[in-house]
């Protein structure tokens, strides 16, 4: 997975590649699909949701440009795989999911894996999570028509917000930076995520 799907497609951040080598992806997919856990596609995880394709998790993570001390907010816990990768790369992680069963499963799994720098929240992540704001990095793993304003508000100075922006079936990975209070946006590759469902989704 790391050699052929990530390095060959241009993922170069050594810390990101190491995190992918370390986190056992097969633990995050349904038992009957574990044999394909490291293949090049997204997979169903129940409740109509998916674990993203490894390359998509990698490029989004790389775009956050984490050095190790950051506080990161993830919207869309899903299986918890992206959350575990973030735990390897950031100081602390808050992960919000709207479906409680998914959040509970992910929380149990990450606890068993001994990750201590993460907090799970059940709720509407389009509102962000004010009590712990601002965040050095925010990653949204569901598709939205426009970046939710509360997430831009909760971004720290110098912080990065990475999210898929577009319509129901096709989006562009978008990177928003807050530099001296101003917002700069950059568009990256096309992608296809499940919808972000909420007040600003
Ligand atoms: N990051 C996940 C992929 C999750 S798929 C992983 O690594 O497996 C997207 C997830 O976003 C789904 O679980 C969906 O329920 C959740 N979601 C959609 N809208 C949301 C919202 N407003 N707040 C929080 N989670 C949301």
Which residues lie with the beta carbon below 6 Å from any ligand 1 atom? 49-52, 75-76, 78-79, 81-82, 96-99, 102, 124-126, 141-142, 194, 196-198, 201
Terminal CA-to-CA distance of the chain, rounded, Å?
32
- Residue found under tokens 């169903």: 44
Task: Flag whether 145 is in a domain.
Answer: yes
Task: Flag whether 6 is in a domain.
Answer: no
With a cut of 50, which residues of the chain have pLDDT below it? none
pLDDT at res. 181: 87
Task: Flag whether 88 is in a domain.
Answer: yes
The contacts of residue 10 (CB under 8 Å, 6+ apart) are: none
Task: Flag whether 41 is in a domain.
Answer: no
CA of 124 to the centre of ligand 1 (A): 10
Among protein residues, the one whose CA lies closest to atom 11 of ligand 1: 76
Task: Flag whether 117 is in a domain.
Answer: yes
Task: Flag whether 105 is in a domain.
Answer: yes
Pick the atom of ligand 1 nearest to 52's CA: 3
Catalytic residues: 52
Q: 2: which DSSP letter?
A: I
Pick the atom of ligand 1 nearest to 126's CA: 22
pLDDT at res. 136: 98
Asked if residues 85 and 22 have their Cβ atoms less than 8 Å apart, the reply is no
Q: 8: which DSSP letter?
A: T
pLDDT at res. 119: 98
Q: 144: which DSSP letter?
A: B
Task: Flag whether 3 is in a domain.
Answer: no
Among protein residues, the one whose CA lies closest to atom 26 of ligand 1: 76
CA of 1 to the centre of ligand 1 (A): 23
Task: Flag whether 15 is in a domain.
Answer: no
Compute the distance between CA of residue 44 and CA of residue 95 in angstroms, rounded to an integer.
Answer: 19
Among protein residues, the one whose CA lies closest to atom 2 of ligand 1: 78
pLDDT at res. 52: 96
Pick the atom of ligand 1 nearest to 96's CA: 24
Number of structural domains (the chain) is 1
CATH classification of the domain holding 177: 3.40.50.150
Among protein residues, the one whose CA lies closest to atom 16 of ligand 1: 76
Residue 109's closest CA among 130, 129, 89, 87? 87
Range of the domain at 124: 61-191
Q: Is the peptide bond before 192 cis (omega within 30 degrees of 0)?
A: no
Model pTM above 0.85: yes
């Amino acid at each position: 997975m790391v050699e052929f799907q990530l390095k060959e497609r241009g993922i170069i951040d050594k810390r990101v590649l190491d995190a992918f080598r370390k986190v056992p992806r097969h633990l995050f997919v349904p038992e009957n699909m574990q044999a394909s856990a490291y293949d090049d596609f997204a997979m169903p995880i129940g409740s109509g949701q998916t674990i993203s394709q490894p390359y998509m998790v990698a490029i989004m993570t790389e775009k956050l440009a984490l050095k190790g001390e950051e506080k990161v907010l993830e919207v869309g816990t899903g299986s918890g795989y992206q959350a575990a990768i973030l735990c390897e790369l950031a100081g602390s992680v808050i992960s919000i999911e709207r479906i409680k069963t998914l959040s509970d499963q992910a929380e149990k799994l990450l606890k068993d894996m001994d990750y201590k720098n993460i907090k799970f929240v059940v709720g509407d992540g389009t509102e962000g999570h004010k009590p712990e704001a601002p965040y050095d990095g925010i990653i949204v793993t569901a598709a939205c028509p426009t970046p939710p304003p509360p997430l831009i508000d909760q971004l720290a100075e110098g912080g990065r917000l990475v999210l898929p922006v577009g319509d129901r079936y096709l989006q562009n990975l978008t990177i928003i930076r807050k530099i001296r209070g101003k917002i700069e946006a950059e568009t990256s590759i096309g992608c296809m995520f499940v919808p972000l469902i909420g007040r600003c989704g």
